[in-house]
């Protein structure tokens, strides 16, 4: 296992305890406290920053290309460093949106199963989790107003 594999695993596994806390014990005081601090984001952001600092050469091709933007990005992202840094970036975005879904679901008192489905997909396939959350909120609010 090389450094890139380890970085990929760290950024992926880092968010696991936060995600499981939101899924399994959403209203617990420990979960509430865990979600307040910055620890949720520290692991993947640290991975991204370390890769960027120690292997900035992988990103140098972004400004030195005669190719179009998409082709330049494809070449740049084809390196292990760039892929791992991009993955850490995606993980941070996914858990950020998932935390928002969790907070909003609790604040408007969405039932557990729709909340859990949204939270599950919030990390696994964030756009799907976000879409499901909006659908469940719409259903919840329309039932509440009837």
Q: Annotate 63-116 with DSSP letters as a single string.
A: SS-SS-HHHHHHHHHTSHHHHHHHHHHHHHHHHHHHHHHHHHHHHTT--HHHHH
pLDDT of the residue at 30: 95
pLDDT of the residue at 102: 98
Q: What distance in Å separates the CA atoms of residue 68 and residue 86, rounded to the nearest whole number?
A: 20
pLDDT of the residue at 63: 62
pLDDT of the residue at 110: 95
Letter string b/e over residues 117-135, b meaning 16 or more CB atoms within 10 A of that residue's CB = bbbbbbbeebeebbebbee
pLDDT of the residue at 98: 97
Q: What is the pLDDT along the chain (146 residues), one digit of tens a residue?
A: 888 899 999 999 999 999 999 999 999 999 999 999 889 999 999 998 888 888 766 666 566 667 787 887 787 778 888 889 889 999 999 999 999 999 999 999 999 999 999 999 999 999 999 999 999 999 998 888 77
Domain hosting 62: range is: 3-145
pLDDT of the residue at 62: 60
pLDDT of the residue at 68: 80
Instruction: Please give the structure tokens belonging to residue 23.
Output: 């899924």
Q: pTM of this prediction?
A: 0.86
Q: Which residue has the tokens 């879904």?
A: 101
pLDDT of the residue at 78: 81
* 55 contacts 86 by C-beta, under 8 angstroms: no
Query: For the chain, what is the domain count?
Result: 1
Letter string b/e over residues 51-74, b meaning 16 or more CB atoms within 10 A of that residue's CB = beeebeebbebeeeeeeeeeebbe
């Amino acid at each position: 296992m090389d450094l890139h594999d380890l970085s990929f695993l760290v950024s992926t596994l880092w968010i696991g305890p936060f995600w499981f806390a939101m899924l399994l014990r959403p209203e617990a005081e420990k979960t509430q406290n865990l979600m307040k601090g910055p620890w949720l984001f520290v692991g993947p952001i640290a991975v991204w920053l370390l890769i960027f600092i120690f292997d900035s050469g992988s990103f140098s091709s972004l400004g030195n290309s005669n190719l179009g933007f998409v082709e330049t990005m494809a070449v740049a992202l084809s390196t292990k460093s760039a892929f791992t840094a991009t993955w850490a970036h995606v993980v941070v975005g996914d858990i950020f949106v998932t935390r928002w879904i969790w907070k909003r679901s609790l604040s408007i008192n969405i039932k557990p199963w729709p909340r859990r489905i949204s939270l599950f997909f919030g990390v696994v396939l964030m756009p799907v989790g976000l879409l499901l959350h909006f659908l469940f909120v719409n259903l919840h609010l329309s039932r509440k107003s009837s």
